[in-house]
Amino acid sequence: MRVDAIYGPIEAPTIERIVSERAVPTEVLRYTMDCGINISAGPVSWESNCFEFQSHTFQMHLLSDWLNDWIDLEEVKEQDADGLSGVVHSCTGISGESFHWQLLTDFGSAPIGAFEELVALLAGFGIRDCSLSVPDDT
């Protein structure tokens, strides 16, 4: 659970993010997506999640087109009636030992299509198994 709070004077508002310590236990669910990738998902959050997988060939530059489509660096995408631009806020890749990858992603105001496209790309790069969770440091 996450609560965002903005309070204080308009000239200098205080922005606070309060995240529970996973107070609600959930089981790990397993899905096989249409693109062929198997995803094991525990607690997830649209604005802060971690894709973990093993790959000898994956590199972040492979996501360049996806990132360019979904991250609005120039802030030119029009907002909808609710003030949302339908954009991904961030995606950071971390490579560890034994070709272990973590993609830390904030899907921001993007629609489910951004998630589906990312998962399909991972499958297209030969990744067959992936876990999805909230990063440990949130």
Domain boundaries, the chain: 26-133
Range 26-133 has CATH code 3.30.70: yes
CA atoms of 95 and 138, how far apart (whole Å): 19
Average pLDDT of the segment spanning 114-127: 96
pLDDT tens string 58-107: 999 999 999 999 998 777 888 877 777 889 999 999 998 889 999 999 99
Q: What is the DSSP string of 25-91?
A: ----EEEE-TTS-EEEE-S--TTSEEEEEE-SS--GGGGHHHHHHH--TT--SPP-TTS------EE
The per-residue pLDDT of the chain, averaged, comes to 86
